[in-house]
């Protein structure tokens, strides 16, 4: 499961990029004078202006940050000190427009720290993350500003505001209060200290983890790679050459590790690669993250208490669909028993094959993917390596575009080479709607490299809004596909193709957005993954496969016999997939509802997993020492459950298409876009879902899709 950071925002929040924060070491370089600093300029050129990636350098950021923060502070001071009586027009409208320069600077910086990181950016992040947190608190804690917001809030139902304006006022007021705006002076001072310390610790955590993800397992004897497909070995060879090594290098990232764990017949190599991967951040050296995690948890606990909540999870879940830790936990525990029962079945099947082969072993975590592949081939005559030739990256990109056009009318024209990019392999498309009207640009950064964080994610450099001056969208997808050797085709796995469609679902969500106020653009965290998870379903439709899943050598489409095997195996190994994800989500919730802040993350992880009966043959998808979602920011803390919450709506939505006659039913697609994809947070998302489906989502659809008992 992939983890884009495409998160809710409010009118008061920092317009920060959704990147991982990285950190410390060194001092920032001297800043360029304001008048010559391109980071402070309005984005120029066609398409509503584009980011000046070709001019971004780390030494430009100190001046840019300082200037942009000061400008935003002055804008808010002007709002707060306005002598006129507070109105929506003189308070909320300028708040919606404030901080645009800072938003541009942070969009640039976020991409550099996520996609092009190096020690200079880490040092900047370490220095400026706490300063940004303090600057945000200065706005949130301004009593004159709160007084104006509160006056408008108290009169919201009698002052002629429309429904959207009332929702913006209500959400903004509640967010200010939730962030500590009503605390006394001493409490505000302490809360600001906590927020700054957290920002610093998030940066430290990210830097440490990035250090471990840059490590690798070197292989000099090709016999150790027996069983590994040639395309995977080619990637490992290219990684070794990049590092000036002979032989092969298995980089410590999921995209490099998983194929080795799936295909390598050398069990010792599998164990070595597995241990390196699952122990990222947990090796006791300078990059160990456990102490940083403990510090983050202590600060979160103190902050929650200061704000009047029992724990961090209660505070974080105030603005979610689930509302409470209990509701999220209830959903997870409805699925957990079926998932663990399925794991037991999967292990029995794998053990039987190992014994039949005379392997003389008991299935261990580093054996799971290897033997699951044997079971898959035996049961379904399906070899994952047999699929890869049909999934050329360029074809899959075209497939995603074609599907979006068929469903929503979006039109894509590649313009790579005509606008600046931050790395030569980044591609760009101009996007129009079904009527040919401007939507914006879409950027793709698909390949893994040193300095790029692991995983896959979506973000926006600029979000759509209708509030004058109206703006189009600049959206992006970021993956870590293996590029391979020069001249060789880029072939991706079925899982990678699903990731591509998933991330593109986030992009579609941003492209179809049609909101007036930026403060009503971001959706709750447990809604964010819903549009992207729905979009995965179109990949394996016959219409997409016939056009785009063509063998890279013969040009023939994927044969129906092979697709039938894929379809038959869709619920295969769902025990593993569900348990490794749910274990992470459950431990996240336990961690952030603990009565006392956890001081030993490793010990807590072991105890929590034992309490829920974690199968010994697999580990959490993200162990705490490398759980970026929780500790590089507050973004998904007490929120990793949201993938399951979103998937419940996703499964039920796909059922709606099937009930209406099929994947391409236009009336259903139109309603989905109109009620859910285009509306941001202009209405309550649960109400919007009920308007689309006629009821709340049915968890039975999720259980059926995963092949679990639904009754």
Cα–Cα distance between 579 and 20 in angstroms, integer? 25
The counts of H helices and E strands in the chain are: 27, 7
Choose, from 63, 127, 314, 503, the residue flagged as catalytic.
Answer: 503
Q: For residue 562, give every residue at least 6 positions away whose Cβ sits within 8 Å of its Cβ, in sequence order, or none.
A: 382, 386, 387, 390
Token pair of 119 as six digits: 């020690």
Burial bucket for residue 345 (CB in 10 Å: 0-12, 13-18, 19+) = exposed
Rounded to the nearest angstrom, the gap between the alpha carbon of residue 241 and the centroid of all alpha carbons in its chain is 30
Q: Is residue 79 within 8 Å of residue 145, measured between CB atoms?
A: yes
Q: What torsion, rounded to 10 degrees, do the Cα atoms 171, 174, 176, 177 define?
A: 180
Instruction: Please name the residues in contact with 384: beta carbons below 8 A apart, sequence gap of 6 or more.
Output: 262, 373, 376, 493, 494
195 close to 315: Cβ distance less than 8 angstroms: no
Structure tokens at 357: 């082969």
Neighbours of 154 (CB within 10 A): 12
Rounded Cα gap, residues 275 and 22, in angstroms? 24
Instruction: Give CA–CA dist 149/493, Å, rounded.
Output: 51
Say if CB 456 and CB 3 are below 8 A apart. yes
Question: Which residue shows structure tokens 């105030």?
Answer: 318
* Axis crossing angle, helix 61-80 with helix 143-154, rounded to the nearest 10: 50
Q: How far apart are CA 500 and CA 446, in angstroms?
A: 9
Residues 6+ apart with CB under 8 A from 124: 28, 58, 61, 62, 109
Question: How far apart, in whole angstroms, are the C-alpha atoms of residue 501 and residue 402?
Answer: 12
Buried residues in 588-602 as b, exposed as e (16+ CB within 10 A): bbbbbbbeebbeebe
Rama region for 227: left / alpha / beta (φ>0; ψ in -120 to 50; rest): left
Residue 224 to residue 267: CA distance in whole angstroms: 9
- Dihedral angle computed from the Cα positions of residues 108, 109, 115 and 121, in that order, rounded to the nearest 10 degrees: 150
658 is catalytic: no
Per the CB < 8 A criterion, the answer to whether 448 and 468 are in contact is no
Give the burial class of 335: count Cβ atoms within 10 A of its Cβ; 0-12 exposed, 13-18 middle, 19 or more buried.
buried
Name 420's Cβ contacts closer than 8 Å, sequence gap at least 6: 50, 51, 52, 53, 54, 55
Query: Tokens representing 430?
Result: 């101009």
The two tokens of residue 682 are 């202009």
DSSP string, 487-542: TS--B--HHHHHHHHHHHHHHHHHHH---S-GGGT---HHHHHHHHHHHGGGGGSH
**What pairing do the DSSP bridges indicate for beta strands 438-447 and 473-481?**
parallel
What positions carry a catalytic annotation?
503
């Amino acid at each position: 499961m992939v983890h884009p950071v495409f998160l809710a925002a409010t009118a008061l929040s920092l317009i920060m990029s959704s990147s991982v924060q990285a950190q410390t070491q060194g001092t920032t370089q001297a800043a360029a004078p304001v008048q010559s600093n391109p980071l402070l300029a309005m984005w120029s050129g066609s398409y509503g202006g584009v980011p000046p990636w070709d001019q971004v350098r780390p030494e430009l950021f100190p001046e840019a940050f300082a200037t942009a923060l000061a400008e935003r502070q002055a804008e808010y001071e002007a709002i707060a000190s306005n002598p006129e009586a507070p109105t929506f027009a003189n308070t909320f409208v300028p708040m919606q427009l404030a901080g645009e320069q800072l938003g541009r600077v942070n969009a640039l910086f976020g991409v550099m720290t996520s996609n092009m990181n190096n020690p200079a950016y880490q040092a900047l992040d370490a220095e400026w993350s706490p300063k940004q947190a303090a600057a945000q608190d200065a706005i949130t804690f301004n009593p004159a500003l709160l007084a104006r917001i509160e006056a408008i809030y108290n009169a919201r139902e009698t002052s002629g505001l429309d429904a959207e304006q009332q929702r913006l006022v209500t959400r903004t007021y509640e967010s200010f209060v939730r962030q500590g705006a009503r605390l006394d002076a001493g409490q505000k001072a302490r809360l600001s200290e906590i927020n700054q310390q957290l920002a610093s610790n998030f940066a430290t955590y990210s830097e440490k983890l990035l250090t471990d993800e840059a490590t690798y397992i070197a292989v000099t004897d090709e016999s150790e790679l027996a069983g590994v497909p040639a395309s995977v070995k080619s990637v490992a060879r290219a990684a070794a050459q990049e590092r000036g090594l002979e032989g092969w290098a298995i980089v410590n990232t999921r995209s490099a590790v998983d194929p080795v764990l799936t295909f390598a017949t050398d069990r010792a190599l599998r164990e070595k690669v597995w241990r390196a991967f699952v122990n990222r951040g947990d090796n006791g050296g300078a990059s160990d993250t456990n102490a940083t995690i403990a510090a983050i948890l202590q600060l979160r606990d103190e902050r929650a208490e200061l704000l009047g909540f029992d724990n961090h999870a209660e505070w974080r879940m105030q603005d979610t669909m689930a509302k409470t830790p209990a509701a999220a936990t209830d959903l997870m525990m409805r699925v957990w028993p079926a998932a663990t029962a399925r794991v037991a079945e999967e292990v029995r099947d794998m053990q039987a094959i190992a014994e039949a082969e005379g392997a003389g072993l008991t299935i261990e975590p580093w054996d799971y993917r290897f033997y699951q592949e044997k079971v898959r081939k035996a049961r379904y005559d399906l070899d994952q390596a047999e699929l890869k030739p049909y999934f050329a990256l360029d074809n899959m990109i075209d497939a995603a575009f074609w599907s979006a056009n068929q469903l929503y009318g979006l039109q894509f024209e590649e313009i790579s080479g005509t606008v600046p990019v931050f790395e030569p392999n980044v591609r760009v498309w101009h996007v129009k709607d079904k009527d040919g009207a401007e939507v914006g640009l879409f950027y793709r950064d698909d390949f893994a490299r040193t300095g790029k964080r692991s995983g896959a994610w979506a973000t926006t450099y600029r979000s759509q809004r209708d509030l004058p001056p109206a703006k189009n969208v600049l959206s992006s997808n970021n993956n870590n596909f293996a590029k391979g050797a020069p001249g060789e085709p880029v072939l991706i796995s079925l899982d990678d193709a699903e990731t591509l469609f998933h991330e593109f679902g986030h992009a579609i969500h941003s492209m179809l957005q049609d909101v007036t106020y930026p403060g009503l653009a971001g959706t709750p965290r447990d809604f964010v993954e819903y549009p992207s998870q729905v979009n995965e379903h179109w990949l394996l439709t016959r219409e997409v496969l016939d056009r785009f899943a063509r063998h890279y050598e013969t040009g023939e489409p994927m044969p129906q016999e092979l697709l039938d095997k894929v379809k038959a195996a869709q619920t295969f190994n769902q025990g593993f997939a569900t348990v490794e994800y749910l274990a992470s989500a459950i431990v996240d919730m336990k961690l952030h509802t603990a009565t006392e802040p956890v001081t030993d993350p490793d010990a807590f992880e072991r105890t929590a997993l034992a309490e829920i009966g974690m199968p010994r043959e697999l580990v959490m998808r993200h162990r705490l020492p490398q759980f970026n979602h929780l500790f590089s920011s507050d973004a998904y803390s007490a929120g990793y459950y949201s993938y399951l919450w979103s998937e419940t709506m996703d499964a039920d939505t796909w059922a709606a298409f099937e009930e209406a006659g099929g994947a391409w039913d236009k009336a259903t697609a139109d309603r989905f876009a109109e009620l859910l994809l285009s509306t941001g947070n202009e209405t309550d998302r649960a109400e919007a879902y009920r308007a689309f489906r006629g009821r709340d989502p049915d968890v039975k659809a999720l259980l059926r899709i995963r092949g679990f008992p639904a009754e």
